Amino acid sequence: MNVPRPTQASSPGVRKSMQSNKGRDTRPELALRKAAHALGLRYRVSARPVPSVRRTADMVFPKAKIAVFLDGCFWHGCPEHHTKSATNAEYWAEKVRRNRERDAETDGLLTAEGWLAIRIWEHEPPLQAAQMIASIVASRRIRPGPKLTR
């Protein structure tokens, strides 16, 4: 079903709220990055893992080929915390469905390029998420082989 997109916000309050949504450096992102940095992880912020794929990850570990996405509960339809909008419900349901569809497509595109996409919900404890990321990064880092001697 193709739901037409409204050209204006349903109210001035909604418009103001939508304009204040940040694309990066949100509180959950900053908390996750701080926890990851404290564990010694170094990463690129808000970067394209694969230049030819027009998708930006929140944290990128190029050597390990890992892209981390911190998904908002409302925007990505968290099974635990997603709430249905009372106003303009059809539009928002379609928006979330498209976001989830794009997330799955992104994961597939990255996998095809040899990357691992990690998805973390914004409600997950930052330290716990950072520890999980650190473990996966450590397991995927390319280790040099034995040195050959003559």
Quick one: tokens of 113?
Answer: 């390029």
Phi, psi for residue 58 in degrees, rounded to 5 = -70, -40
Mean pLDDT within 26-48: 97
pLDDT tens for 42-97 read: 999 999 999 999 999 999 999 999 999 999 988 898 988 877 877 888 988 999 99
Other C-beta atoms lying within 10 Å of the C-beta of residue 40? 8
CATH architecture of the domain 22-140 equals 3-Layer(aba) Sandwich (3.40)
88, 89, 90, 92: CA torsion to nearest 10: 90
Alpha carbon distance 104, 130 (integer Å): 22
Backbone angles phi, psi at 120, to 5 degrees: -125, 135
- What residue type is assigned to position 93 of the chain? A
9: which 2 tokens? 């916000």
The pLDDT of residue 106 is: 97
- pTM equals 0.81
Joined together, the tokens standing for residue 55 give: 């998708």
User: What's the CA gap between 112 and 115, in Å, rounded?
Assistant: 7
- Give me the residue spans of the domains in the chain: 22-140
Q: Which has more pLDDT, 30 or 1?
A: 30
Q: What is the pLDDT of residues 100-150, one digit of tens each?
A: 999 999 999 999 999 999 999 999 999 999 999 999 999 998 666 666 666
Rounded Cα distance between 69 and 107, Å, is: 10
Cα–Cα distances (Å) from 37 to 30, 93, 105, 127, 132, in that order, read: 10, 35, 29, 10, 13
Instruction: Check if the beta carbon of residue 86 is closer than 8 Å to that of residue 36.
Output: no
